[in-house]
Amino acid sequence: LPKCRPQAFAEPFRGAVHKSIAESFRGALHKSFAESFRGALYKSFVESFGAPSESIVPTALPSSSPSCSKEVDFDMCFALDMSGSVCSPNKNQPELCSSCPDQCKDSAVNDGTCCDEFRSIQDFTIDMVTALDSFDGQKSYSIVQFASSGSLVPSSGDKQSTIDSVNGLDYTGGFTNHAEAIDRCREALSSTSLGSNKYMLVITDAVSTRPSQDPVGSAIASADLAKGDDINIIPVFVMFPGQDSGLDFMSTISSDGNVFNVTDFESLEFLEQDLIEQVSCSADIN
């Protein structure tokens, strides 16, 4: 009979047993370490934040902007500045720019528009009308142009006729008469339907220089009369770098003391969403 070789049999057996024990030990060690780590992590979390509730229901993420009414009855008057400061080439030394002389004219726009800055006012107004018209409810628009004096621009009050009126404006140049601008808007809004929210958006880049007697005081007095008629005055003020006056005056004529201001006419478009929320959110309160 062949002799049995215990050593040849034992060595593979010992190797298998050793390998099995080692793997089991490593597995147990790994499991023990993982459980200890999870336990320590959970304990640290509880100590820092408290124990979680049994049922955690995720909440909706906050909106990036207020959610306000989409069904708003309102009447809006836009007072558009056509004074010389709008098209003056040097904003810190404004000219009258009456009838759009060569030094005030930009070649990229037609003679009626005169300069890029006034085109920005027109585009901003048209964009605002288009956005506001998406609200449900009754609404109407009116346009007042102002420089040395203010006048109501003929329009039937709907979206398209308002846009046509804005596109058809001819820049005048001249001084800045906020008092007449506010008075003409007040008259336009007084003839609209009762019960609707009334807004006056005054788009300008300067303090009052007309009427010749107390121009600033006249503008403030006109604004007070409009506020007394429950008209919400919202100033949109273009304040150029180096300009150190105007914000306090605009804050005084504002219904809530707030002024929407930018540093150039091209930036007006960035105010659109905030202004739309101003109309829809304040309508919820009224």
- Four-way CATH pick for 74-285: 3.20.20.70, 1.10.443.10, 3.40.50.200, 3.40.50.410: 3.40.50.410
8 or 253, higher pLDDT: 253
- Residues 20-78 have pLDDT tens digits of 444 544 554 444 444 554 555 445 544 554 544 433 333 333 334 445 666 678 999 99
Predicted confidence at residue 243, as pLDDT, reads 74
- Between 87 and 2, the more confident residue is 87
Would you state the pLDDT for residue 72?
A: 74
> Which positions ≥6 away from 27 have C-beta within 8 Å?
none
pLDDT tens, position by position, 142-191: 999 999 999 999 999 999 999 999 999 999 999 999 999 999 999 999 98
Q: What pLDDT digit, counting tens, does each position of 202-252 carry?
A: 999 999 999 999 999 999 999 999 999 999 999 999 998 877 679 999 999
Residue with tokens 């024990």: 21
Q: What is the rounded average pLDDT of the residues 83-109?
A: 95
Predicted confidence at residue 137, as pLDDT, reads 85
- Band of the pLDDT at 259, cuts 50, 70, 90? very high
How far apart, in whole angstroms, are the C-alpha atoms of residue 39 and residue 252?
A: 62
**How much is the pLDDT for 233?**
98
Closest residue by Cα to residue 214 from 258, 264, 249, 265: 249
What's the pLDDT at 59? Answer: 33
Which string of DSSP letters, residue by residue, matches the chain?
Answer: -PPP-HHHHHHHHHHHHHHHHHHHHHHHHHHHHHHHHHHHHHHHHHHHH-PPPSS--PPPPPPSS----SB--EEEEEEEE-SHHHH-SSTTS----TT--GGG--TTS-TTT-SHHHHHHHHHHHHHHHHHTTSBS-EEEEEEEESSSEEEEP--SSHHHHHHHHHT---------HHHHHHHHHHHHHTS-TTSEEEEEEEESS----SSSSHHHHHHHHHHHHHHTTEEEEEEEE--TT---SHHHHHHHSSSS--EEESSGGGGGGGHHHHHHHHHHHHHH-
Domain boundaries, the chain: 11-51, 74-285
Confidence (pLDDT) at 115: 98
Whether the full predicted model's pTM is greater than 0.85, yes or no, is: no
Q: Which is more confidently placed, 53 or 132?
A: 132
Q: Find the distance separating the first CA and the last CA of the chain, reported in whole Å.
A: 111
